[in-house]
Structure 1
Amino acid sequence: MKLMQAIDKANGYIFGGLTQAIGGNSTYCDIMDVQERWLDHKDLWDEFEQQEENQMNE
């Protein structure tokens, strides 16, 4: 987390984005949500998001 904060700070992202989202108060559920979205079920989530986007554009 400290590395991510240093990278955010170097990129000028001191007061927003990942720094606030992950800043020290991460819970186990937050980590599991990320794992489910990007590691465990990426294809399913990509398909779901594409369907949602298509419905919004209709």
Structure 2
Amino acid sequence: MAGAPPQLSGASKTILTAAMAEILSHRFLFRVTSVSYSRIRAAAIGLNYGVTQAKIFCYG
């Protein structure tokens, strides 16, 4: 392994990896949650609209 870049010690590598994973997972979760929330809202609005249209169509 001559000429290889200096390696971090095992402990600091683990801490760094854990910190990066945490940051990434937080970002990922935030993104997924916001996307899911907007999708759920859109679906709820769409469902509401569809039900209203169906009622108008059936009883109007």
Q: Same fold (TM over 0.5)?
A: no
**Which of the two has higher C-alpha Rg?**
2
Greater helix proportion: 2
Q: TM-score, normalised by structure 1?
A: 0.36
